[in-house]
Amino acid sequence: MKTVKNHFGVFAAVVLAVMMFVSIATAEEKSAVGLDGSTTVGPIGDAFAEVFMKSHNCSITVKKTGSGDGVAALIDGRCDIAMSSRFLKPEEFKKAVEKGIYPVAHTVAMDGVCIIVHPSNPVKELTGQQVCDIYMGKITNWKDLGGPDMPIVAISRDTSSGTYEVFHEKVLKKQNMAAGVEYVNANPQAYARVKTTPGAIGYVGLGFLDDNVKSLKIDGIMPTKQTIADGTYLVSRPLFLFTNGYPKLGSVIHAFCIFYLTEEGQSIIEAKGFVPMTNY
């Protein structure tokens, strides 16, 4: 009697498992273009997808999980286009090639990471070295920089964001940030913290600038579309779409990856606060 019971348990388990696998397999078979990756490139991806779903009558899903996750998704074949705010790391490229994926970069726009402070702060200009010293804890008070006697609250993006990586590489030259630096997990949150904290310094993408925060000149250069596009501003970077190989000509993915060249694409990029690659 006991054994009979056990057999039914096993049988039912097998049936359940088979049913689950079948349902997963059918769910994955749906044909659609999937984007995954950087929260910075995400708004561009969203806006492009919106236009494309109307004009090409296809379904495009845009996930914003972060540059690293997006690239990992491309390598694992979980998405067709990875959005990234940095170039591939050598180890990612190696892993991709090992899995038979050949990542091709499409530079869609330029993004400037602007150093921002509270509007009441009289400091207008810093050098890259000074910003570096602030984030490494060597300068802790605004009076050392010509400002009021007020402790500096340094605010950084979380270490898994592409914005952090660019800042970390270009400003800090890959040195460790001080333990006292605060971390926030999104551009809007960094913006909100600086907006409400008189002693704060933070960094956000060009698209997040407005009158509630003050953007600083770095090494004498103001972050503008011009200085970001030509690369003279210290913390500027290209934004990428990565595909597996160059997309098949005429496919939806191909059209999507060259959409930034069109006038409509450029105006979308500009509307989202980024700088178009094309000089028009």
Partner 1 sequence: MAKYSAQIAGKSKKAAAGFTRPLLLTPSEDMLGFLSGHLGRAALFLITATSVVAVFLIFYFVIRESAPFFFNKSFPAAMARIKEFFTDSGWYPAATEPRYGGLALIVGSLYVTLGSLILAVPLGLFAAIFLSDIAPFNLRQICKPVIEILAAIPSVAYGFFAVMVFAPWLQKSLGFSTGTNALNASVILAIMALPTIISVSEDAMSAIGRETREASYALGATRAETMVKVVIPAAHSGILAAVILGMMRAMGETMVVWMASGNAGRIPSPWWDLSQSIRTMTATIAGDMGETPKNSEHYYALFTVGLTLLLFTFSLNLVSEYLLGKVMKTSRGGK
Residues lying near partner 1 in the complex (CB under 8 A) are found at 4-5, 8-9, 11-13, 16, 65-69, 72, 91-92, 150-151, 153, 158-161, 168, 174, 176, 179-185, 189, 192-193, 196-200
How many angstroms separate the CA atoms of 257 and 273, rounded? 19
Smaller CB separation from partner 1, 4 or 249: 4
Q: Which residue has the tokens 């800090």?
A: 172
Closest by CA to 239, choosing from 109, 72, 79, is 109
For residues 108 and 277, is the Cβ–Cβ distance under 8 A?
yes
Smaller CB separation from partner 1, 176 or 267: 176
DSSP 246: S
Smaller CB separation from partner 1, 55 or 185: 185
**How many residues are there in the chain?**
280
Report helix, strand or coil for 105.
strand
Q: How far is the CB of 60 from partner 1 (least distance, A)?
A: 22
Q: How far is the CB of 16 from partner 1 (least distance, A)?
A: 7
Q: How far is the CB of 183 from partner 1 (least distance, A)?
A: 4
How many angstroms separate the CA atoms of 132 and 177, rounded? 9
Closest by CA to 252, choosing from 34, 26, 44, is 34
In which region does residue 45 sit, left (phi positive, over 0), alpha (psi from -120 to 50) or beta (all else)? alpha
Q: How far is the CB of 185 from partner 1 (least distance, A)?
A: 6
Amino acid at 232: T
For residues 52 and 62, is the Cβ–Cβ distance under 8 A?
no
Q: How far is the CB of 262 from partner 1 (least distance, A)?
A: 32
Smaller CB separation from partner 1, 74 or 275: 74
Smaller CB separation from partner 1, 237 or 257: 237
Q: How far is the CB of 207 from partner 1 (least distance, A)?
A: 20
Smaller CB separation from partner 1, 20 or 271: 20
How many angstroms separate the CA atoms of 195 and 183, rounded? 15
